[in-house]
Chain A
């Protein structure tokens, strides 16, 4: 077991070192949600009223509403960034080193997920801190309670990134991920507008949003930030994580997946 933990430490440590070396990535990851929070939300505040719905006990401003969605956005973009770095690892060859290690492949992939998620969570807390400086705060204990939710949502989105990395053959194809995964997942969710608001314009869109795992990741974060809990969101996130991880392990199976298609 100690051998497995050493591998985990090494993989997480390498992810962290890579992150430290890429300060631009850290800034980009923070600027994106902050622009949404301080520019987009300020403009939308007048246009979009948010009524009192769980977990909120009172009327809230739009900026407050979208904070959990923007936490989800950071996790989503980082999950995809980790997918990009896996494709990069494959192109520069370091993936071979990982996959020829004498440890179960599923564990090596889980280590990558954990590393990517920890980096994401650091960014989420930095974002929440800056949001707090602008007066957008949550209940103090909510910052602690949300940690397991961030971990689970981060694992789910990193697992999705892992699935994508097993199917993306070249770095150049990554733009497609932006268009066909990140944007639909983000906009067809409860990150920017509550589902009841979506239903006012289209029931179909609301139903699609309700089937989007990202919606449930955002709702889990939202509830936990307010010291509340949603079983529905938890079940969706856990089930989606298991499904994505299963697909990733299949994608990286040497008999069926990645290297065979690449070599071929």
Chain B
């Protein structure tokens, strides 16, 4: 048992179109796994399945932190922190109110929410902006707030769906580094992206293309001597 992400024989169709074809992978605790795939590869569908926004009845199994998402979704989802590609902050609420809303949805008490919010925001350099409305934050600060929020319930695993889209280079680097640190501290991380420069050689790499896993291994081993971007473009046959 990996106690991280486990997907086995996962398939999904939109009508007659296959979005995912018999996907299997495992991400252990303490591992940063980059899920690399061009647009339309099936990354968003996979994220929706891993977060139970979609289910594929009768097709494969997903286990999160050892809990079956199909049979005990509440335990599985309680172990998962998510940063969606689409911004999910309520712009009319302050940073602190956004975190409090999320914390309550995870059953945390007001006291725990206050203590954990302060700690999570402080770690991400957002504590002094806690009382600002989300609407007034720039893109990088909004993403940091979402990351702080995703960590509020102390999840054992973290799923980030293209979290750096629209951010400048400094903000991208800061968030990528922070999440790598979280993996070093024992968290199981799945980071979907189509940007090869966010992947380190030591990362676990999954390459998804046309609904299938093309490669599953250590990023440095997979790319061999080539630049990861060149390798990726060659294997997926187009622009990333």
A260 CB contact (under 8 Å) in B54, B76, B105:
B54
Beyond A93-B88, A102-B74, whether A7 also contacts B107 by CB under 8 A is: yes
* Closest CB in chain B relative to A69 CB, distance in Å: 33
Which positions 52-97 of chain B face chain A at CB distance < 8 Å? 52-55, 57, 73-78, 80, 82, 84, 86-93, 97
* Closest CB in chain A relative to B9 CB, distance in Å: 17
Is B109 among interface residues, defined by CB-CB distance under 8 A?
Answer: yes
The 8 A CB mask of A1-36 against B (1 = contact, 0 = none) is 011101101110110011001000000000000000
Q: How far is the CA of A13 from the CA of B113 in the complex (A)?
A: 15
* Closest CB in chain A relative to B80 CB, distance in Å: 8
Contact residues in A for B48 (Cβ distance below 8 Å): 259, 263
Q: How far is the CA of A233 from the CA of B80 in the complex (A)?
A: 45
Of all chain A residues, the one with the shortest Cβ separation from B73 is A102
B77 CB contact (under 8 Å) in A10, A93, A100:
A100
Contact between chains at A21 and B92 (CB < 8 Å): yes
Contact between chains at B88 and A10 (CB < 8 Å): no
Q: Which of A3, A18, A102 has the most chain B CB within a 10 Å cutoff? A: A102
* Closest CB in chain A relative to B134 CB, distance in Å: 11
Contact between chains at B104 and A9 (CB < 8 Å): yes
Is B240 among interface residues, defined by CB-CB distance under 8 A?
Answer: no
Q: How far is the CA of A101 from the CA of B54 in the complex (A)?
A: 14
Q: How far is the CA of A94 from the CA of B101 in the complex (A)?
A: 11
Q: How far is the CA of A3 from the CA of B52 in the complex (A)?
A: 20
Contact residues in A for B77 (Cβ distance below 8 Å): 100-102
Contact between chains at A10 and B105 (CB < 8 Å): yes
Q: How far is the CA of A100 from the CA of B108 in the complex (A)?
A: 15
Contact between chains at B87 and A93 (CB < 8 Å): yes
Contact residues in A for B76 (Cβ distance below 8 Å): 102
Instruction: Classify chain A: how many residues form its interface, as a range.
Output: 20 to 34
Is A92 among interface residues, defined by CB-CB distance under 8 A?
Answer: yes
Beyond A100-B51, A104-B74, whether A264 also contacts B104 by CB under 8 A is: no
Contact between chains at A10 and B51 (CB < 8 Å): no
B101 CB contact (under 8 Å) in A10, A96, A260:
A10
Beyond A14-B90, A93-B84, A94-B90, whether A100 also contacts B107 by CB under 8 A is: no
B92 CB contact (under 8 Å) in A3, A6, A17, A100:
A17
Of all chain B residues, the one with the shortest Cβ separation from A17 is B93
B107 CB contact (under 8 Å) in A6, A18, A260, A263:
A6
Is A118 among interface residues, defined by CB-CB distance under 8 A?
Answer: no
Is B123 among interface residues, defined by CB-CB distance under 8 A?
Answer: no
Contact residues in A for B105 (Cβ distance below 8 Å): 7, 10-11, 97-98, 101, 103, 108
The 8 A CB mask of A79-105 against B (1 = contact, 0 = none) is 000000000000011101111111110
Contact residues in A for B86 (Cβ distance below 8 Å): 92-93, 96
B88 CB contact (under 8 Å) in A3, A9, A94, A260:
A94
A255 CB contact (under 8 Å) in B55, B102, B104:
B55
* Closest CB in chain B relative to A76 CB, distance in Å: 25
Beyond A6-B109, A101-B77, A102-B77, whether A254 also contacts B52 by CB under 8 A is: yes
Contact between chains at B82 and A100 (CB < 8 Å): yes
Contact between chains at A102 and B51 (CB < 8 Å): no
Contact residues in B for A97 (Cβ distance below 8 Å): 84, 88, 102, 105
Told that A93-B86, A100-B52 touch, could you supply 17 new A-B pairs with CB distance under 8 A? A7-B107, A9-B104, A10-B105, A13-B101, A21-B92, A92-B86, A94-B90, A96-B53, A97-B105, A100-B51, A102-B74, A102-B75, A108-B105, A255-B55, A259-B53, A263-B14, A263-B48
Chain A residues within 8 Å of B, Cβ to Cβ: 2-4, 6-7, 9-11, 13-14, 17-18, 21, 92-94, 96-104, 108, 254-255, 259-260, 263-264
5 residue pairs, one from A and one from B, having the closest CB atoms: A10-B104, A3-B107, A93-B86, A101-B105, A93-B88
